Amino acid sequence: MLTVLILRNKFCFVLLFTLFCFSAANAQDILKAYVDTAFKNNIVLQQKNVSLEKAQYALKTAKGLFLPTVALQGAYQTADGGRNIPLPLGDLMNPVYSTLNQITGSTNFPMLENQTINFLPKNFHDAKLRTTVPIINTDIIYNKRIAQQQVVLKEYEVQIYKRDLVKEIKTAYYNYLNALAAVDIYKSGLQLAKEGLRVNEKLLENGKGLPAYVLRSQSEVENANATLLDAQQKVDNARLYFNFLLNRNPNDLILSDTNDQTELAKVEGLLAGLNMTNQREELKVLGQVEGINKNVQKMNSQFAVPKLGAFLDVGTQSEGFHFNANTRYYMLGLQLEIPIFSGNRNSNKLKESNLDLRNAELNSNLVAQQLSLSAKVSQNNLRSAYQTYQSSQKQFEAAATYLRLIERGYLAGANSFVETIDARNQYTSSKILVNINLYKVLTAMANMERETASYVIQ
């Protein structure tokens, strides 16, 4: 029999422990599911992803500048008038041809007419395929590097917004739970007020109460009703904002299965030490900005490097739209550009890029200090919120004990009705305060999680 009791107790302990773990895990799974939903649906995050995709296409464009460019080019021209070049072929050659015909006794040498050649083309076309390829061009090399860094920069910006979104979702979720708990507390307060009204009505019926007490109890019931309606409105507003972050229907139901004590158990560990990390996305962004400015500086410093390119033309040109072996042609060549003087624009641009790089380095140092300060402040805020929560718990315990004693004393005639109202208000206020401070702690934890970048983003 003793063995059976021991086995039963062990089974009950394992069952309760399993249920507790499942409840805590389920609560975290629900919140994580909401975060994943926001990652898919949030409109601002979608805009960030669009910017990232644009940067990726810009990188592909920069890579494409290394490849040959092929284009079909065509031109048609016709004109009349203008300057002419006279060619007196007849005057020059006809005497010679006439003499030759007399000597040979033949007509093998015909007479020629004088010619006139116009400078302007008439009914002339030129159609060709032009292929160009860069050989030496430092600008496109650095533009590709900058485009690659821009892609990484946009990726970090997406990560930063995701962390901000996680914080906003958790804060909105805790605000919703806080509002729900407040509704339950005010409902409990309304029940206490109604019970006070019932007791005073009974006492009045039995000749032991006063009409003023009944009127005051009715006023307390109406006040509790008004407070409850206001709390329910806050629940609706919290639900609207939470669903807005997830880009869902405003009236969608929010699951509220949570285990606050499990979350509170993490506070001591967070307060024990501050886990500072140098892998913050904000610092990585600034590192990328520095890298971009360095490449811009290097690109501007290469202004004296010549640019060399090659081209190949394959086409046809003629008058009268003829196409034959005499009209077809090809042309192969190189193009070289060596800068000599540009009004000091290149040197001024280099100095400007040097200042941009210096400013980026200073900004990195400043932001690193700001992030360190924000993390320490968030830890202090969490410590303050947790201590306030613990203090409000003790205050609530005292208010609950005080209410029980006053209610007993009122029924026994030892305490006045005003004292019961005061005790009831203290009880409700302290219970609300515990609830508010609880979610202040959870919100402070979400804020510290953001400031230390400890949330794992897949």
pLDDT at residue 14, as a whole number: 34
In a domain, residue 220? The reply is: yes
First to last CA, the chain: 53
Tell me if 351 is assigned to some domain: yes
Q: What is the pLDDT of residue 414?
A: 77
Give the residue carrying structure tokens 């500072």.
276
Residues 435 and 298 in one domain: yes
Q: Examine the domain organization and report whether 231 and 168 are in the same domain.
A: yes
pLDDT band at 335 (very low <50, low <70, confident <90, very high): very high
Instruction: Tell me: do 161 and 287 sit in the same domain.
Output: yes
Residues 213 and 106 in one domain: no
Answer yes or no: is 368 within a domain: yes
- Residue that wins the pLDDT comparison between 295 and 192: 295
In a domain, 259, yes or no: yes
Over residues 283-292, the mean pLDDT reads 92
Mean pLDDT in residue range 184-209: 78
> HSE on the CB side for 432, CA within 13 Å?
17
Structural domain range at position 269: 137-304+339-451
Look at the chain and report how many structural domains it folds into. Answer: 2
Q: Is residue 95 part of a domain?
A: yes
Give the mean model confidence (pLDDT) for residues 112-124: 83
pLDDT score for 21: 38
**Same-domain status, 87 and 159:** no
Q: Tell me if 217 sits within 8 A of 196, measured CB to CB.
A: yes
Examine the fold and report which residue of 66, 93, 120 is the final residue of a domain before the chain moves on: 120
The pLDDT of residue 228 is above 90: no
pLDDT surpassing 90 at residue 251: no
pLDDT grade, residue 11 (50/70/90)?
A: very low
State whether 141 and 115 are in the same domain: no
pLDDT at residue 419, rounded to an integer? 81
For residue 179, pLDDT beyond 80: yes
Q: Note whether 115 and 171 are same-domain residues.
A: no
Answer yes or no: is pLDDT of 200 > 70.
yes
pLDDT at position 257: 66
Residue 440 included in any domain:
yes
pLDDT confidence of residue 86: 85
102 shares a domain with 202? no
Query: Taking 90 as the threshold, does the pLDDT of residue 211 lie above it?
Result: no
Query: Over 50: is that where the pLDDT of 382 sits?
Result: yes
User: Does residue 90 surpass a pLDDT of 70?
Assistant: yes
Calpha distance 141→296 (Å, rounded): 11
Among the ranges given (166-175, 191-200, 285-294, 375-384), the one the predictor scored with the smallest mean pLDDT:
191-200
Calculate the dihedral angle through the C-alpha atoms of 164, 165, 167, 171, rounding to the nearest 10 degrees: 140
> Residue 178: pLDDT above 80?
yes
Q: Are residues 102 and 224 in the same domain?
A: no
Work out the percent of the chain whose per-residue pLDDT is above 70.
Answer: 91
Task: Give yes or no for residue 458 having a pLDDT over 90.
Answer: no
**Is 399 found in the same domain as 287?**
yes
The structure tokens listed for 358 are: 């210096």
Residue 278 pLDDT level (bands cut at 50, 70, 90): low
Q: What's the predicted TM-score (pTM) here?
A: 0.78
pLDDT of residue 276: 66
Q: Do 156 and 277 belong to one domain? A: yes
What is the three-state SS of the chain?
Answer: CHHHHHHHHHHHHHHHHHHHHHHHHHHHHHHHHHHHHHHHHCHHHHHHHHHHHHHHHHHHHHHHCCCCEEEEEEEEECCCCCCEEEECHHHHHHHHHHHHHHHHCCCCCCCCCCEEEECCCCCEEEEEEEEEEEEECHHHHHHHHHHHHHHHHHHHHHHHHHHHHHHHHHHHHHHHHHHHHHHHHHHHHHHHHHHHHHHHHHHHHCCCCCHHHHHHHHHHHHHHHHHHHHHHHHHHHHHHHHHHHCCCCCCCCCCCCCCHHHHHCCHHHHHHCCCCCCCCHHHHHHHHHHHHHHHHHHHHHCCCCCEEEEEEEEEEEEECCCCCCCCEEEEEEEEEECCCCCCCHHHHHHHHHHHHHHHHHHHHHHHHHHHHHHHHHHHHHHHHHHHHHHHHHHHHHHHHHHHHHHHHHHHCCCCCHHHHHHHHHHHHHHHHHHHHHHHHHHHHHHHHHHHCCCCCCC
Q: Is 230 part of a structural domain of the chain?
A: yes
How does residue 6 score in pLDDT terms, banded at 50, 70 and 90?
very low
| CATH, residue 347 | 1.20.1600.10
Residue 68 lies in a domain: no
Check whether residue 228 and residue 164 sit in a common domain. Answer: yes
User: Per-residue pLDDT tens for 49-64?
Assistant: 999 999 999 999 999 9
Mean pLDDT, residues 334-352 taken together: 90
